[in-house]
Amino acid sequence: APARIAVTGLAVMGSNLARNLARHGYRVAVHNRSHARTKALIADHGHEGDFVPSETLEELVASLQTPRQIIIMVKAGGPTDAVIDELVPLLEPGDMVIDGGNAHYADTRRREAALKEAGLHFVGAGISGGEEGALNGPSIMPGGSEESYRHLGPVLEDIAAKVDGVPCCVHVGPDGAGHFVKMVHNGIEYADMQLIAEAYDLLHRVGGMSPAEVAEVFRGWNTGDLESYLVEITAEVLGHVDAETGAALVDVIADEAEQKGTGRWTVQEALELGVPVTGIAEAVFARSLSGRAGQRQAVRSAFGPAAVVGGADTSLVEDVRQALYASKVVAYAQGFDQMRAASAEYGWDLDLGAMATIWRGGCIIRARFLDRIREAYDKAPELASLLVDDYFRDAVQSAEEAWRRVVVKAVSAGVPAPGFVSALAYYDGLRSERLPASLIQGLRDFFGAHTYRRTDREGSFHTRWSGDRSQVDA
């Protein structure tokens, strides 16, 4: 019998996804550029389900029922284009090519348009959850046409993670929408991790707590509003002792954070869209700063290390918890704003509540809190900001005092907390009655005659700064 669906690219992600499909009873055609990987998959896991191995793409295509559904799981960028170019001449109108890699959404838009010309469906599907997720149930964010989702949706929903019986997979929207949402997911993940790291640093350096003690704090936090995968594994990592030295592993790991680029993409796209995603940007820059070893050494030598003034007071742990929660709300509010802006820009008609729903399981940012986000957008799809939803407004309001205390403490102690500080500035920025943007407009008009608008009447105006300083209509 022909295979139901195919996977090409059998490194960790592809082979785990193929196994997930097979375990759900699908007959899966499998292929990899170098056949050794295909053979290894069959040798190690062939007994788990119904696999149809192929040595070539021609064979793979021939082994499938029509319309064909082929998932590409290869290295993003050039390799994905190489596979598409080889595959397209072998396909027939109506066939579906699914890219499950971490593609940039602009590449997905380009590929979707090109394949449409050939009568093919191209589905850029964001897949989150790493190798574990691919095997046991990822969060899946497929873009592409409605028609492709009618065929693919049932299979993808079947293999996706489930929370309360609801699959973490939904048709996100046309063309690059799926990969865009996956990108923002990763950006939020950067912000979330940065905030967690700052919370640890404050408790450790200002509060004088050991990594093991902070691990306990996080374990406790994971039973409340902050309950999430990242908070859970923070307790694991902080509690882990290095077998070689007997020290906390976190004290042995080099403090230079690396990145693969999806956080940077999120910020670049936010700049294009004009959406302030300060939490994600600070997180990306904090990783960059940590990696500048030479510069850190030079500045540390010039100034000496910051003299941390702190000392535990009993309220620090609770204050930091509240600051973390409020800052996290801000980071998510910003990420959801960015999705809304892209949706308007590209005509995607994103259902923001559904995005929160499919992130509840299978992915790195899965958290209890996402239920609250879904409820907020279900109640008010056009919500101006997550911050104004009743639940989040109350949460942020009740955290505000603690949040300010933590920021003051961090700043005066000399412990960098760019995530907490910028989140608070964002909140204060949005709620200010007047912003000094008026002065910026005045300056722009002064040096560049860029004109300004007035608060008291319509129109554009210019002041003759170098002349008699009278105001003229512009």
Which chain residues interact with ligand NBP by CB under 6 A? 9-14, 32-34, 37, 73-76, 79, 82-83, 101-102, 127, 130-131
Binding site annotation covers 45? no
Q: Which two tokens stand for residue 101?
A: 């890699």
Dihedral (C-alpha) 157, 159, 160, 164: value to the nearest 10 degrees? 80
Residue closer to ligand NBP (CB basis): 131 or 232: 131
Residues 6+ apart with CB under 8 A from 118: 88, 91, 93
- Measured N-to-C along each axis, helices 390-413 and 369-379 cross at an angle, to the nearest 10 degrees, of 130
Does residue 136 have a known ligand-binding role?
A: no
* Spatial CA neighbour of 104 closest among 194, 186, 168, 189: 186
Ordered alpha helix ranges (H), 347-473: 352-358, 369-379, 390-413, 418-431, 437-448
Residue 399 structure tokens: 């955290």
Instruction: Give me the residue whose beta carbon is nearest to ligand NBP.
Output: 101
CB of 131 to ligand NBP, least distance (A): 5
Nearest CA-CA partner of 185 in 74, 72, 76, 332: 332
**Is 186 known as a binding-site position?**
yes
Going by DSSP bridges, is the β-strand pair 28-31/5-8 parallel, antiparallel, or unpaired?
parallel
**According to the annotation, is 360 in a ligand binding site?**
no
Helix axes 35-45, 12-23, angle to 10 degrees: 40
Minimal CA–CA distance to 306: which of 436, 423, 415, 174?
415
- CB of residue 21 to ligand NBP, shortest distance in Å: 15
Q: Quote the least distance from Cβ 179 to ligand NBP, whole Å.
A: 10
Question: In whole angstroms, how close is the CB of 360 to ligand NBP at the nearest point?
Answer: 18
Q: Which is nearer to ligand NBP, 73 or 231 (CB)?
A: 73
Report in angstroms how near the CB of residue 181 gets to ligand NBP at its nearest: 14
Least gap, CB of 33 to ligand NBP (angstroms):
3
Q: How far apart are CA 403 and CA 405, in angstroms?
A: 5
Contacts of 278 (CB under 8 A, 6+ apart): 334, 422, 423, 425, 426
Orientation angle between helical segments 177-201 and 316-346, nearest 10 degrees: 160
Residue nearer to ligand NBP on the CB measure, 32 or 69: 32
Q: Is 249 annotated as a binding residue?
A: no
Q: Which is nearer to ligand NBP, 73 or 203 (CB)?
A: 73
Adjacent-strand bridge partners of 126: 141
Q: Is 412 annotated as a binding residue?
A: no
Tell me whether residue 74 is annotated as binding. Answer: yes
**Which one of the listed residues 39, 58, 92, 182 is annotated catalytic?**
182
Query: Considering beta carbons, is residue 13 or 387 the nearer one to ligand NBP?
Result: 13
75 is in an annotated binding site: yes
53 vs 310, beta carbon nearer ligand NBP: 53
Name the residue nearer to ligand NBP (CB basis): 14 or 263. 14
What are the distances in angstroms from CA 102 to CA 128, 182, 183, 264, 422?
A: 9, 8, 8, 13, 28
- CB nearer to ligand NBP: give 262 or 327: 262
Q: Is 328 a catalytic residue?
A: no
Catalytic-residue membership of 182: yes
Does the annotation flag 115 for ligand binding? no
Please tell me whether 388 is known to bind a ligand.
no
- Kindly state the helix (H) or strand (E) to which residue 7 belongs, with its residue range: strand 5-8
Residue 301 CB, shortest distance to ligand NBP, in Å, is 38
89/301 Cα distance (integer angstroms): 61
C-alpha distances in angstroms, 37 versus 44, 54, 83, 364, 382?
10, 11, 16, 27, 48
For residues 70 and 95, the answer to whether their CB atoms sit within 8 Å is yes
Residues 404 and 355: their CA atoms lie apart, in Å, by: 31
Which of the residues 157, 189, 269, 282 is marked catalytic? 189
Cβ 45 to ligand NBP shortest distance, Å: 15
Binding site residues for NADP(+), as ranges?
A: 9-14, 32-34, 74-76, 102
Binding site residues, as ranges?
A: 9-14, 32-34, 74-76, 102, 128-130, 185-186, 190, 260, 287, 444, 450
Write out the catalytic residue numbers: 182, 189
